[in-house]
Structure formats: structure tokens, C-alpha cells
Amino acid sequence: MADSTYRLDIPTVAIFNSAELKEFFKKSGYKFAFEYYFEPVLNKSLYEYLIQHKDDFDRKKQIIVYGRPSTYRNAFELVVAVLKTWVQSYDKAMEWEVLSLGEQHNEIELGNGVKLVSKGKMALEEYAKTMLTSSIGISLMVSPHPSYPPLEMATFGVKTITNCYDNKDLGAFNSNIVSVKNCSQGNVAEILVNLCEKYSPDSVYNYNEEYVSNKNTFESIIEKIKLILQ
């Protein structure tokens, strides 16, 4: 049914939230009368907090995951499986705290006394502080859309594991993104172990200028769309 809405025999204005998503539709053979896209940008409040507080905290041995059990595209079951494999294969796992952000859920035992503690949906300031004090992030998205959390985590200095999907590969976003093609739980757990072994309390910021410029390019296409709809 969703697919049929992309194939209607009427002039359609298609607006895509990222160049990757637009390219995916093109590769899939969809055609529209008019096509526009805008790119994700960093939330203004998050950017202001980052600039004001980026030197205020040391990085903890803390892992954050984007945990939304009810949203299958975020692959929560795979994330939990990865963490359990990581605990079993890494003898220093108990030194780390693991937090789940995004949706409230029950605490999950990962093994050897390590738990996945749910923080649910946070206020922006709490979310920003949590990112500034975390070392590693996992944020998966089974979709051609890039998703916002991995971009936010990486911008806040978190070494962030995220997945490729079809034409989507966020590896060029900044140096904190770890873009993974092989998303087996063993492979991702091995990557997680390697990142833990490289732990440092210091932060590495490598801003993607287009992303942090906070220029909402959606605004730039509104006038064009208005002209079409007249």
C-alpha cells in the first residue's frame, strides 16, 4: 500500500529528508514530477550546549545505545545480542556502564553483572550531557535514511557504531563514525571491544560543518514548492 502511493499517476512533489534517501528512491525506479531533498542539521539547542560545555567533562567508560524495542528499524534485538556477545568476549566489560536512550524499557541483564540500563527519552540538556560524558555509541537504522542519533553522537565526540544500508554509508560524516557493512553480532561485538580498548577520557571533535551550521535547508525549498502549488 505504501509503495502504491509512490507510483500514483498524478503529478507528485517528492521531498526527501537526506540525499541518501533521494538516491535510494532513484535507484529503486521511483519517478516524481518534482524532487527536492534537505539534509539533517544539528538541533540548535544541542549545538549551543555543545559549544558551551564541550570542555567541561571527561569521557567515562560509558556506552550509549539508541534503544527503541518497539521500533523494529532500530534493530534493538540485534543491539542486545551484540552487547551480550561483547560481555562474554571482553574481560573488562564490567568496567563499563551501558545506557539505553530513546524509549523506556526494562533493565536487561547482559551477563557477568553488566546491565543495560534504560534512561528512556531524555530532555535535550540531559541528552547532551550524557553524550558529552560517553565514549562509545551504538545506533542502528535498518533503512536508507541516515537517522539523527548517530550524527548527534558523533558530533558530540562519541565513537559511534552505525550500519550501512544499500547506498547509505555514513563513514564520511566525521572521524567518530564507525560505519559497518557486516552487522553480525559477532562482528559488531568485536568492533565494540576494539573501541573499548582504545578508551581515553579525552574528547575528539571533528565537526561536519554543513551539519552543525544549523542552516535548515528545508526552509530553502519551501518557496519553490509554493510556486509549484500555485
205 has pLDDT over 70: yes
230 has pLDDT over 80: no
Percentage of the chain lying above the pLDDT 90 cut:
83
Question: pLDDT at position 152, please?
Answer: 98
Give residue limits of the domains in the chain.
Answer: 2-41+215-229, 44-209
Q: Could you tell me the end-to-end alpha-carbon distance of the chain, in angstroms, rounded to an integer?
A: 29
pTM of the model: 0.94
Concatenating the DSSP letter of every residue in 75-86 gives -HHHHHHHHHHH
3-state secondary structure of 200: coil
Question: pLDDT at position 216, please?
Answer: 65
- Interacting residues of 33 by C-beta distance below 8 A, sequence separation 6+: 11, 12, 13
Question: pLDDT at position 1, please?
Answer: 82
Kindly state the average pLDDT of the residues 57-70. 97
List, for residues 120-162, the tens digit of each pLDDT value.
Answer: 999 999 999 999 999 999 999 999 998 999 999 999 999 999 9
Kindly state the average pLDDT of the residues 209-214. 86
List, for residues 92-122, the tens digit of each pLDDT value.
Answer: 999 999 999 999 999 999 999 999 999 999 9
List, for residues 158-176, the tens digit of each pLDDT value.
Answer: 999 999 999 999 999 999 9
- Quote the mean pLDDT of the chain: 95
Residue 220, exposed/middle/buried by CB under 10 A (0-12, 13-18, 19+)? Answer: exposed
Question: pLDDT at position 224, please?
Answer: 85
Question: Any idea which fold 44-209 has?
Answer: Rossmann fold (3.40.50)
Measured N-to-C along each axis, helices 124-133 and 44-53 cross at an angle, to the nearest 10 degrees, of 40
